């Protein structure tokens, strides 16, 4: 490996840069720098030369132009083994720059400020930094490029040993291109969000940037490999989750926990959700989460075994005792009391995770062969009786209204075809994922652990025939909430009237495929 004689250091994140610079100087490396990095190194007594002094050309346009100079880029881009390049450099007095250390101002932080203006955002777009990184990464066989402060110690040691392989240089170059790609993506996303009269809701092109957080033990099945990636522009949710106890999450754990978190976040009152195989098997609200959990588990205690539970309040010692009385794979909560965590730690196969409410992304994505499906997230919320239409002779009672609104929230998170039987604040039976809607009705009744008489029923889509209504009426179900819109709505309404049931139409479907 050729000796590192000269390095250019210009970083926004200055963590570790001073000891790294000192280490380079100890090995006789000449240092060039600009702006805040130059000031910091000078203050810390590290010998460093300002780029403007090195190029003989001052910074101009209020610092907009600092490093954009042939002396800098010639030194970075010149191929060391190419005679013509070396002759040109000697003729023009251009010296090689062997190491470039740059990281960029986090543009996301600038545009995240509520009061930021377009003018301010544009002023914070770095030009020289990405150009330095791309030049160094392009010429990685001759130039080392570093964007990550965590690489400083290892690279410093390898420089001293003269052992930086071409493979390692390529790895560093990839990180540099990834760094600039994320930066450009952030700029594009911000500018895409600025409304224009002719702008379409869905952009003509999409760019997504995700960073691998961890490899998972396997995917849905042991023969499938898997990993978890965090979105660069997403905050909250699983990217910021903390595992307080237990082994790392599996692929299926993440899917089930995400479903549980999404559903429990629908409720403002204390709530608990138990999920199994990506479907809720019990949901309840109550004055306390311990009562909510007991009621949710009671919906289907057999399915709850080995499931995922999510609550929307901090977990107390009492709640932890109740949860651990049933085998659970994962517990999700906004916080866990120390005494509660001590109880959980007695269960070696349990995972305990704290996570904030999920973020609300602009779009939902679903990968299919050869492309990507994109849609609005399902943000439909039914808050009161003014948002639905009573279509039967009998209107629902106030108690039935509460139960209908509750079951409608649950229905949104159950795989289609979805049927929910419920009282106010607690599910009684759930029928999910059936090809026939009447089968879902039958399964919901079959799964019920308590009498369904007096319950209400929610359906994620319209009833194509009256058979589901007849089955519900004979079982004593008193009220139904559904979207409506079938060509046989009149028959369905007649069936409800014959059974003395109340039925309301929401005009909104809740398919979840």
What tens digit of pLDDT does each residue of 374-402 get? 888 898 999 888 889 999 999 999 999 99
DSSP string, 55-101: HT---BTTTTBSS-SHHHHHHHH--TT-HHHHHHHHHHTPPP--EEE
**How long is the chain?**
513
Query: Does the annotation mark 277 as catalytic?
Result: yes
Both tokens assigned to 489: 């709505």
CA atoms within 13 A on the CB side of 233: 21
**pLDDT at residue 287 greater than cutoff 60:** yes
**pLDDT at residue 86 greater than cutoff 60:** yes
Domains of the chain: 6-192 (3.40.50.1380), 236-354 (3.40.140.20), 385-505 (3.40.140.20)
Residue 271's φ and ψ, nearest 5 degrees, are -145, 155
Residue 239's φ and ψ, nearest 5 degrees, are -65, -25
**pLDDT at residue 327 greater than cutoff 60:** yes
**181-185, 269-273, 306-310, 405-409: segment of lowest average pLDDT:** 181-185
Task: Tell the burial category of 467 from Cβ atoms under 10 Å away from its Cβ (0-12, 13-18, 19+).
Answer: middle
Q: Which of the four pLDDT bands, split at 50, 70 and 90, describes residue 429?
A: very high
- What's the pLDDT tens digit per position in 45-67? 888 888 877 776 777 666 666 66
Q: Measuring CA to CA, how many Å separate 18 from each of 27, 35, 39, 160, 209?
A: 14, 15, 11, 17, 30
Both tokens assigned to 191: 């500018």
| Average pLDDT of span 202-223 | 82
> Which of the residues 14, 138, 185, 347 is marked catalytic?
138
Q: What is the pLDDT of residue 277?
A: 94
The span from the CA of 276 to the CA of 378, in Å, is 21
Q: What is the pLDDT of residue 29?
A: 87
Question: Which residues fall within 8 angstroms of residue 60, CB to CB, at 6 or more apart?
Answer: none
Report strand pairing: 279-286 vs 30-33. unpaired
Q: What is the pLDDT of residue 2?
A: 65
| Average pLDDT of span 230-240 | 73
| Average pLDDT of span 475-498 | 97
**pLDDT at residue 197 greater than cutoff 70:** no
**pLDDT at residue 186 greater than cutoff 80:** no
**pLDDT at residue 123 greater than cutoff 80:** no
Q: Which of the four pLDDT bands, split at 50, 70 and 90, describes residue 293?
A: very high
> Which of the residues 69, 168, 185, 277 is marked catalytic?
277
Nearest residue to 482 via CA among 501, 275, 281: 501
**pLDDT at residue 213 greater than cutoff 60:** yes
Q: What is the pLDDT of residue 200?
A: 64
**pLDDT at residue 198 greater than cutoff 60:** no
Quick one: what percent of the chain has pLDDT higher than 70?
Answer: 93
Q: What is the pLDDT of residue 63?
A: 62
Q: Which of the four pLDDT bands, split at 50, 70 and 90, describes residue 4?
A: confident
Tracing tokens 């359906």 back to the chain, one arrives at 459
| Average pLDDT of span 335-358 | 92
Quick one: what percent of the chain has pLDDT higher than 90?
Answer: 53
Report strand pairing: 99-103 vs 270-276. unpaired
Question: Which residues fall within 8 angstroms of residue 236, CB to CB, at 6 or more apart?
Answer: 355, 356, 357, 358, 359
CB 143 within 8 A of CB 98: yes
Report the DSSP beta bridge partners of residue 364: 375
Query: Does the annotation mark 138 as catalytic?
Result: yes
Q: Which of the four pLDDT bands, split at 50, 70 and 90, describes residue 480?
A: very high
Question: Which residues fall within 8 angstroms of residue 333, CB to CB, at 6 or more apart?
Answer: 310, 311, 312, 313, 314, 315, 352, 353, 354, 355
Which of 242-256, 269-283, 369-383 is predicted most confidently?
269-283
């Amino acid at each position: 490996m050729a000796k590192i004689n000269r390095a250019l250091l210009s970083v926004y994140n200055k963590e570790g840069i001073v000891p790294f610079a000192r280490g380079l100087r100890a090995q006789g490396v000449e240092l060039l720098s600009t702006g805040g990095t130059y000031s910091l190194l000078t203050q810390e007594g590290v010998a460093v030369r300002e780029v403007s002094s090195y190029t003989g050309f001052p910074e101009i346009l209020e610092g907009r132009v600092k490093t954009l100079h042939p002396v800098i880029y010639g030194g970075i881009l010149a191929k060391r083994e190419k005679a013509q390049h070396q002759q040109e450099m000697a003729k023009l007095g251009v010296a090689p720059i062997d190491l470039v250390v740059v990281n960029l101002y986090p543009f996301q932080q600038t545009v995240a400020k509520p009061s930021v203006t377009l003018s301010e955002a544009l002023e914070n777009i770095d030009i020289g930094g990405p150009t330095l990184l791309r030049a160094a990464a392009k010429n990685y066989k001759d130039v080392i490029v570093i964007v990550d402060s965590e690489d400083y110690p290892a690279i410093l040691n390898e420089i001293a040993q003269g052992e930086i392989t071409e493979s390692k240089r390529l790895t560093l170059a990839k990180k540099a291109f990834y760094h600039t790609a994320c930066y450009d993506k952030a700029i594009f996303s911000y500018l895409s969000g600025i409304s224009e009269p002719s702008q379409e809701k869905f952009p003509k092109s999409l760019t997504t940037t995700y960073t691998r957080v961890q490899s998972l033990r396997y995917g849905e099945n042991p023969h499938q490999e898997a990993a978890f990636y965090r979105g660069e522009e997403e905050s909250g949710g699983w990217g910021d989750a903390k595992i307080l106890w237990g082994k790392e999450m599996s692929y299926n754990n993440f899917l089930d926990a995400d479903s549980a978190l999404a559903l429990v976040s629908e409720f403002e009152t204390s709530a608990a959700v138990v999920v199994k195989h990506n479907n809720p098997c019990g949901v309840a609200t109550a004055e306390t989460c311990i009562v909510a959990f007991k009621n949710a588990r009671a919906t289907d205690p057999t399915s709850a075994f080995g499931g995922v539970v999510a609550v929307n309040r901090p977990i107390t010692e009492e709640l932890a005792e109740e949860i651990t009385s049933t085998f659970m794979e994962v517990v999700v909560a906004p916080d866990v009391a120390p005494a509660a965590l001590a109880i959980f730690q007695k269960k070696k196969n349990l995972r305990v995770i704290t996570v904030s409410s999920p973020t609300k992304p602009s779009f939902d994505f679903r990968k299919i062969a050869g492309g990507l499906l994109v849609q609005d997230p399902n943000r439909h919320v039914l808050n009161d009786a003014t948002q639905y239409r009573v279509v039967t002779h009998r209107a629902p009672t106030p108690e039935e209204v509460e139960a209908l609104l509750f079951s409608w929230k649950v229905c949104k998170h159950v795989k289609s075809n979805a049927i929910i039987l419920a009282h106010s604040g607690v599910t009684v039976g759930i029928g999910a994922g059936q090809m026939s809607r009447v089968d879902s009705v039958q399964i919901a009744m079959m799964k019920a652990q308590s009498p369904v008489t007096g319950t209400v029923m929610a359906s994620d889509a319209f009833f194509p025939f009256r058979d589901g209504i007849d089955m519900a009426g004979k079982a004593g179900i008193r009220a139904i909430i559904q979207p409506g819109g079938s060509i046989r709505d009149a028959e369905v309404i007649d069936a409800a009237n014959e059974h003395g049931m109340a039925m309301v139409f929401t005009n909104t479907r809740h398919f979840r495929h």
